[in-house]
Amino acid sequence: MRGGTAWAAACGAAALVLTTATGAHAEGRGDIRVVKTVVNGGGNVIVGTSKTIKYPIDITVKDNSGVKGLTHVSTFNKTSAYTFATWNDDSSCTKKSATTSVCRATMTIDPAWIADSDDIDSNRVAGVWQVNATVKANDGDYWISDDIADYKVKRAARLTTVIAPEKVAKGAAVTVTGKLSRANWEDLKYHGFTGQQVRLQFRKSGAAHYSTVRTVTTGDAGKLSTRVTVTSAGSWRWYFPGTTTTSRKVSAGDALGLK
């Protein structure tokens, strides 16, 4: 047993979209409502193997007496109800009008905690997460909101590009290699990500943008390799669009010159 049961299992159920109207509630009193929720500015939460991640949940609340604040915030995987994100009971509310305030809760994820936060493979906790919150008004009204936001918590990815040789004659063939790997939250190391579609992109010298040349599937240990014919000098890179559980990643460009 590695840390018992899911921390969030008793905290509530489903959620909706990054910015949503009021969802289902288990209990409440009065006219107070959650009218909008935005997690991490609308972006995914990307977690690697060492860096502690802090991200905001901004909850817009409305009541005719004005908003007092948040009394509970929790977030967890939508399917399994496991979590490794913590709220330290700190929040601040910005008054937008006599009846409406935006209250911010900050969540913390320390990769060192992850493996002890559940009794399954922690990597399975990546994916779609949801937010629950309890809000309170100045007149004592309260609302338990179990359905206010969906967002994604993803495993961080790494991607490299290497060209050999780096200077050739026009019309020559070169090999472009690379490796796609992603964070493993069990051992806090990066491991190759096999069977993934990765795009090889090229930017001609002097051009503003990259364009996709072909798509290659990662092999054993996440390795990439392909041969291309050189028509001009420029930079090559790999682009991985990401998945529901793994972050998007673009490698640094590797320059190729002409003799």
Lowest mean pLDDT among 2-16, 22-36, 129-143, 156-170: 2-16
- Residue 22, pLDDT above cutoff 70: no
145 and 253 belong to one structural domain? no
Q: For residues 17 and 65, which has the higher predicted lDDT (pLDDT)?
A: 65
CA distances from 206 to 7, 44, 109, 233 (A): 53, 33, 41, 9
pLDDT, average across residues 35-62 = 98
How many structural domains does the chain have? 2
Residue 8 lies in a domain: no
pLDDT of residue 89: 87
Q: What is the pLDDT of residues 171-180, one digit of tens each?
A: 999 999 999 9
Q: What is the pLDDT of residue 26?
A: 58
The answer to whether residue 15 sits within a structural domain is no
Q: Can you give the pLDDT at residue 165?
A: 85
Asked, for residue 136, whether it belongs to a domain, the answer is yes
Nearest by Cα to 162 from 217, 222, 231, 238: 238
CATH number at residue 240: 2.60.40.730
- Tokens 């949503």 map to which residue? 20
Q: DSSP characters for 3-59?
A: S-S-TTTTS------SS-----EEEEESS-EEEEEEEGGGSPEEE-SS--EEEEEEE
Last residue of a domain, one of 124, 139, 155: 155
- Residues belonging to the chain: 259
Confidence of residue 164 (pLDDT cuts 50, 70, 90): confident
Of residues 61, 104, 107, the one with CA closest to residue 83 = 107
Domain of residue 76: give its range: 25-155
Q: For residue 19, what pLDDT is reported?
A: 33
For the question of whether the overall pTM of this predicted structure is more than 0.85, the answer is yes
Residues 58 and 161 in one domain: no
Q: Are residues 113 and 208 in the same domain?
A: no
